[in-house]
Amino acid sequence: MLTATLRSLAAHKARLAMTGLAVVLGVALMSGTLVLTDTVGRTFDNLFSNVYAGTDAVVRSTEVVKSPFGQDQRAPIPADTLASVIATPGVAEAEPTVTGFAQIITPSGEPVGDPTGGAPSFGANWGLVTGLNPFTIAEGEPPTGPDDVVVDRASATKGGFGIGDTVTLLTAQAPRPFTVRGLATFGDSDSPAGASVSLVTLDVASELFAVPGTVNEIGVVATGGTSEDEVVAALSARLPAGIEAVTAAQRTAEDQSALGQALGFFNSFLLVFAVIALVVGAFIIYNTFSIVLAQRTRELALLRAVGATRRQVTLSVLTEALAVGVLASLVGLGIGAVTSIGLRSLLGAAGIDIPSTSIVVSPTTAAIAIGVGTMITLAAAVFPALRASRVPPIAALRTVAVEPKPPVIRIVVGIGILGLGVLNLVGGLTQGGDTALFGVGGGALLIFIGVAVLGPAFARPAVRLLAWPLPRLRGITGTLARENAARNPRRTSTTAAALMIGVALVGFIAIFAASAKASIDQIIDESFTGDLIIDSGQFVAGGVSTDLAASVKTAPGVAASTGVRFLTANLDLPESSAPAGPASNAAFILAADTTALVDITDPQPTAGRVSDLGLNEVAVASSVAESAGLAVGDTVPAQFPTGERTLSVVGTFDNRALLGDWVVDLATADAAAVDRLDVQVWVKVADGASVTVVQEELKVLAAPWPTADVLDLSEFKASQAEQFDQILNLVYALLGLAVIIALVGIANTLALSVYERTREIGLMRAVGMERRQVRAVVRWESVVIAVFGTLLGLVIGLFFGWVMVLALSSQGLGVLSVPVPTLVVVMVLAGLAGVVAALLPARRAGRLDVLTAIGSE
Amino acid sequence: MTTIESTTGPGTDPQPPVLAARAFDAVKVYGTGDTEVRALDGVTCGFERARFTAIMGPSGSGKSTLMHCVAGLDSLTSGSVFLGDTDLTTLRERELTELRRDRIGFVFQAFNLVPTLTAAENISLPMDLAGRKPDSAWMDEVVRTVGLADRLGHRPSELSGGQQQRVAVARALASQPEIIFADEPTGNLDSRSGAEILGFMRRAVDELGQTIVMVTHDPVAAGYADRALFLADGRIVDEMAAPNAERVLDRMKRFGD
Ligand SMILES: Nc1ncnc2c1ncn2[C@@H]1O[C@H](COP(=O)(O)OP(=O)(O)OP(=O)(O)O)[C@@H](O)[C@H]1O
Ligand SMILES: [Mg+2]
């Protein structure tokens, strides 16, 4: 039996290659992602342990404020802690670090790096203690005067400037010119993970970045003979409550794990697409095995007739699947390792730049890639294998394998799976929390499988209906194409289902994005009564200093304006809201001049007041207040990076879409945050003043901040849409892989069908069908299958989009917008893709030799 | 070996009978060296218009090969083949295809029909491929002749073997080709269905003036023809006018010697 399996493997190399390709692509993306993680992990592990080699201990605050986005902020410590640290026995040297946001502006006025996304920009003091300073001067000198700066070499290269040039630093203070004194490296690397860094003297850093009288942390070098643990113990004994000492080893481990988390997010993002690709691949493997085994019914029946047991038949099929799976996974792993280099540039766009090093493939990665690829292939082959084992010996005597009518049970099971999928999806979306992703993902998968199970039951009439114009347009070739597509409903529907998955996700993303854009537009149209928005382009870290908002406020023609900031705080709520992740009580708080705010927006207040908030007064979105059990008059203990405050709730509002969950006044923000950076400035133009004229004036005012754009409302909407589009394009590209795999599937199915219909094609050629007509028949069949799959996909995508909008309507996604032109383009592309998928099979069909074809079995 | 009559030489007779197709010194060699097979070894013959010719001979004698070469399905190693005045050896692949579509009809032993098309669609297939409108009066007549009027909407899988062959004959007749080639058209049928098919072919020749060339092993089938050609080892070894089953059987027995 094994010999029979191996023979059949050898006899169908081309078919196996096609089947394998479906696995190869999915495994390649998966292993590419894993290899990238291995490589990056190794690179940074080395980098961190090198740069902290001279440090023995770090003194820092114990207070950490978690951010909803995972970037934790540690509270600063009093600067005078340094004295007691130095006085501690076992401490040889100690030096504080002060860091904060700093965007470099080149001599020609351009920001270095991509301020909207990409790697972070920060500034710090130049460390004078060699062992403590992770940076090394590569060229020039360290900063000594108040106008001196040293930048990382990568930024200088990117910005096209060098030693002696004047750059401007945008910080929480007014923009300030500096002279570049030197270029530094971080370990062996030109930049720490692609971040752009400005290094200044401690005095300047304290002035620019710190709350007066504080530093971020203090690095410690122990005296010779004192171990890291000993010096930490000595420090811990002396440090006041709220300040801790940790070993450099621990600090390094924390840095590595923080980076690991950032990478992990990126990883999971990519792995989602790898899983999608693998699921599509599984459909194709299932389909190929089904078709091939149906074609080999006679051979299998003969084997059974001469005494092969069912078990042996099943095993022989699974052995074949195992061989395909292992081989394809190995190839996929190889391609993945190469792909990881390409993925690296994606990671760069996501803000982490990796110094180029050799590729690291860990044994775990290899095991996962090969294991998953093989398991999926095997799992997809199980059903066809079982079906093959049920071929009765008598089938050896029948001429053609007829596809049986789908039994009622199939319809019942299909509808069951579909229903379960919808329930899961809706449940996942409405409940939220950790399990939401599994609910949504699992629900979507079940819906796909449900439709695929139901497919054979409706594929024939659906395909006939879809292709009704073909006979009219294309005559007999059209009729033949339509009937060929309809003749094996199971084959057609499974092939189409593979394409459906990719298209459904593309359609869903397109609808989601269009709805999000439309919702933003609606929010701005309906509740933003201002006229201009100055957008710093930054969000979580960074922004523009308050000087800009201050000068805008007094500009002629401006009726009202406010700087808008976001604070992170950890709130102690009476009832913890939805079961969110570890940062469940981490909140994003919008801070604005609440007197001006009500002139520029409509907060839609529901109780108390949202305007004229005083220090430590907070307004809450009504839905948040409800789920947290808060009402006007209640207090909320809040942990800010500068310490704890008690906020009192003075009002609730409905406009969560524009203002978020929590609103405080700038007075509170000034007191509670470490630095004062406005993310945006909102402006209402005075009655009678021209918006364009005021916009021009404000552009002049904003000129010192080249990262800031002065936008009118339509420009602002467009810039928001543009940010969406960037992410969209990346997602489309990744989903493209799933679509490509599905096209390989269509090509594969067609090739198998052409092979099966050899005699028929020969007959038609004999009675006068031209080669181009043979090709046209295959091509149009392909187009019909592709369009069928695309239509199914778009319907499901539309459903996903609709459910998503329903679920997120309370969070500002209120408008369901269907981007009809995009979907039409998808449809047309699908048709063209069908043509492309048919190229090879059609060529083969056209080339069949008439006589051999007629004579073939 | 029997001498070949003058009707088979092109242009040798001042008033030759009108030939629908003819082969001149046709040679077909398969393989090379040790494996070389001379399937046709210098065949010269002609098929008269509005006549029913049977090609007979032992298995492997080259009957199918001759038919394929004259029908433009295969090419000769040397020699020439004419359909009417068209020299098939000068035609390119696409011209041969069009020639088969527009000027030749085929009936094979089995698998004659496209399974996805109905009987009616199968019948009009060559004309549909050419983008021509079938002559509906003629179609009706053909369909009536082969007795398929009530089966036109059926697919081949819903027809019996005999009915399928009738559809195939109808398809061959429908486009009014210059010549119809049939390779053992009754080989898979019982004698009653076979007789029906042969009867239709005979009527097509007598009543419609159709030219038919049929390869067959069956002396009874050959009895429907106007003339029988006998092949052995790639050569024409005999021919018989107005053959009947008994005489043909006699002649066939002598191949064994
Ligand atoms: N494609 C081919 N390659 C090699 N030899 C071939 C090929 N086709 C036919 N032959 C050989 O040519 C010879 C004539 O074959 P052909 O099919 O014409 O015989 P036939 O008279 O039709 O026989 P049958 O009555 O069995 O159908 C045979 O010896 C056959 O083996
Ligand atoms: Mg033959």
- In chain B, what are the domain boundaries? 51-61+99-255
- Statement: residue A407 has pLDDT above 70: yes
Q: Per-residue pLDDT tens for A468-482?
A: 998 888 888 999 999
The answer to whether A470 and A784 are in contact (CB under 8 A) is yes
| Whether A763 and B114 lie within 8 Å, measured CB to CB | yes
Question: pTM, whole model, 2 decimals?
Answer: 0.81
Q: What is the DSSP string of A667-734?
A: HHHHHH-SS-EESEEEEEEPTTS-HHHHHHHHHHHHTT-TT-EEEEHHHHHHHHHHHHHHHHHHHHHH
| Whether A763 and B131 lie within 8 Å, measured CB to CB | no
The answer to whether A701 and A587 are in contact (CB under 8 A) is no
Ligand 1 pocket: which of B38, B61, B236 to mutate (most atoms within 8 A of CB) = B61
Q: For ligand 1, atom 5, which residue shows the shortest CA distance? A: B30
Report ipTM for this prediction: 0.86
Residues of B in contact with A760 (CB under 8 A): 111, 114-115
Whole-number Å distance between alpha carbons of A799 and A418: 13
> Which SS3 state, helix, strand or coil, does residue A621 take?
strand
Whole-number Å distance between alpha carbons of B132 and A243: 94
User: Quick check: CB of B216 below 6 Å from ligand 1?
Assistant: no
Whole-number Å distance between alpha carbons of A149 and A750: 65
Ligand number with the minimum distance to the CA of B29: 1
Whole-number Å distance between alpha carbons of B179 and B100: 10
* pLDDT at res. A116: 63
In percent, how much of chain B has pLDDT > 70? 93
Whole-number Å distance between alpha carbons of A603 and A261: 36
B13 CA to centre of own chain: 25
Whether A763 has its CB under 8 Å from any CB of chain B: the answer is: yes
Best B129, B157, B178 residue to mutate vs chain A (most A CBs within 10 Å): B129
DSSP code of A559? E
Q: For ligand 1, atom 30, which residue shows the shortest CA distance? A: B60
- Statement: residue A425 has pLDDT above 90: no
Whole-number Å distance between alpha carbons of A707 and A728: 23
Ligand 1 pocket: which of B27, B35, B36, B37 to mutate (most atoms within 8 A of CB) = B37
* pLDDT at res. B6: 39
Kind of pairing between the strands at A196-200 and A121-125: parallel
* pLDDT at res. B51: 94
Whole-number Å distance between alpha carbons of A664 and A431: 28
Distance from the B73 Cα atom to the nearest Cα atom in chain A, whole angstroms: 7
b/e sequence A361-370, b meaning 16+ C-beta within 10 Å: beeebbebbb
* pLDDT at res. A130: 82
In percent, how much of chain A has pLDDT > 70? 92
What is the helix (H) or strand (E) element at residue B227, kind and residue range?
strand B227-232
The answer to whether A482 and A467 are in contact (CB under 8 A) is yes
User: Quick check: CB of B62 below 6 Å from ligand 1?
Assistant: yes
In percent, how much of chain A has pLDDT > 90? 40
User: Quick check: CB of B63 below 6 Å from ligand 1?
Assistant: yes
Q: Per-residue pLDDT tens for A271-330?
A: 888 888 888 888 888 888 888 888 877 777 777 777 778 888 888 888 888 988 999 999
- In chain A, what are the domain boundaries? 1-54+247-402, 55-246, 459-526+714-857, 537-707
Whole-number Å distance between alpha carbons of A409 and A388: 19
Whole-number Å distance between alpha carbons of B188 and B185: 8
Q: pLDDT class for A70, splitting at 50, 70, 90? A: low
Q: pLDDT class for A405, splitting at 50, 70, 90? A: low
What is the helix (H) or strand (E) element at residue A73, kind and residue range?
strand A73-74
Which of A332-336, A739-743, B141-145 has the lowest average pLDDT? Answer: B141-145
> Which residue type does A536 have?
S
Distance from the B206 Cα atom to the nearest Cα atom in chain A, whole angstroms: 24
Nearest to B161 by CA among B192, B193, B123: B193
* pLDDT at res. A838: 93
Nearest to B221 by CA among B243, B203, B239, B237: B243
Q: What is the DSSP string of B158-184?
A: GS-HHHHHHHHHHHHHHT--SEEEEES
Best B64, B67, B114 residue to mutate vs chain A (most A CBs within 10 Å): B114
- Top-level class of domain B51-61+99-255: alpha beta
| Whether B73 and A766 lie within 8 Å, measured CB to CB | yes
Mean pLDDT of A123-142: 90
Mean pLDDT of A509-515: 88
Rounded to the nearest whole angstrom, what is the distance from the C-alpha of residue B71 to the centroid of ligand 2? 14
Q: Per-residue pLDDT tens for B139-192?
A: 888 888 788 888 899 988 888 888 998 899 999 988 889 999 999 998 888 888
- Statement: residue A69 has pLDDT above 80: no
Nearest to A198 by CA among A101, A114, A73: A101
Q: What is the DSSP string of B13-44?
A: SSSPPPEEEEEEEEEEEES-GGG-EEEEEEEE
Rounded to the nearest whole angstrom, what is the distance from the C-alpha of residue B172 to the centroid of ligand 1? 24
* pLDDT at res. B25: 94
List CB contacts of B1: < 8 A, sequence separation 6 or more.
B235, B237
CA A404, A409, A412: angle at the middle one, nearest 5?
130
User: Quick check: CB of B65 below 6 Å from ligand 1?
Assistant: yes
Whole-number Å distance between alpha carbons of A811 and A408: 43
Whole-number Å distance between alpha carbons of A615 and A190: 44
Rounded to the nearest whole angstrom, what is the distance from the C-alpha of residue B251 to the centroid of ligand 1? 21
CA distances from B190 to A53, A754, A770 (A): 95, 32, 34
Q: For ligand 1, atom 28, which residue shows the shortest CA distance? A: B60
Of B44 and A360, more confident: B44
Average pLDDT, chain A: 86
Q: pLDDT class for A403, splitting at 50, 70, 90? A: low
Mean pLDDT of A720-733: 83
* pLDDT at res. B56: 93
Q: What is the DSSP string of A358-386?
A: -----HHHHHHHHHHHHHHHHHHHHHHHH
User: Quick check: CB of B37 below 6 Å from ligand 1?
Assistant: yes
Q: For ligand 1, atom 19, which residue shows the shortest CA distance? A: B60
- Statement: residue A780 has pLDDT above 70: yes
Q: For ligand 1, atom 29, which residue shows the shortest CA distance? A: B60
In ligand 1, which atom is closest to the CA atom of A852?
Answer: 1
CA A206, A208, A213: angle at the middle one, nearest 5?
30
Whole-number Å distance between alpha carbons of A689 and A693: 8
| Whether A769 and B73 lie within 8 Å, measured CB to CB | no
- Statement: residue A432 has pLDDT above 70: no
| Whether A769 and B128 lie within 8 Å, measured CB to CB | no
* pLDDT at res. A355: 63
CA distances from A741 to A28, A508, B142 (A): 12, 19, 50
Residues around ligand 2, an ion, CB closer than 5 A: B 64
User: Quick check: CB of B111 below 6 Å from ligand 1?
Assistant: no
| Whether A768 and B102 lie within 8 Å, measured CB to CB | yes
DSSP code of A323? H
b/e sequence B159-191, b meaning 16+ C-beta within 10 Å: beebbbbbbbbbbbbbbbbbbbbbbbbbbbbee
| Whether A759 and B130 lie within 8 Å, measured CB to CB | no
Whole-number Å distance between alpha carbons of A223 and B40: 104
Whole-number Å distance between alpha carbons of A650 and A633: 6
- Quickly count: other Cβ atoms within 10 Å of residue A325's Cβ: 28
Whether A768 has its CB under 8 Å from any CB of chain B: the answer is: yes
Looking up tokens 């081989």 gives A327
Q: Exposure of B241 by Cβ count < 10 A (0-12 exposed, 13-18 middle, 19+ buried)?
A: exposed
* pLDDT at res. A37: 81
Question: Which of the given ranges, A67-71, A616-620, B184-188, has the highest pLDDT on average?
Answer: A616-620
Q: Could you list the pLDDT tens digit for every one of the 257 residues in chain B?
A: 344 443 444 444 445 568 899 999 999 999 888 888 999 999 999 999 999 999 999 999 999 999 999 999 888 999 999 999 999 999 998 899 999 999 999 998 888 889 889 999 999 999 988 888 888 888 888 888 788 888 899 988 888 888 998 899 999 988 889 999 999 998 888 888 889 889 989 999 998 889 999 999 899 999 999 999 999 999 999 999 888 888 888 888 887 65
Whole-number Å distance between alpha carbons of A605 and B40: 99
Ligand 1 pocket: which of B28, B29, B30, B41 to mutate (most atoms within 8 A of CB) = B30
Check residue A405 and give left, alpha or beta (phi > 0: left; psi -120 to 50: alpha). beta
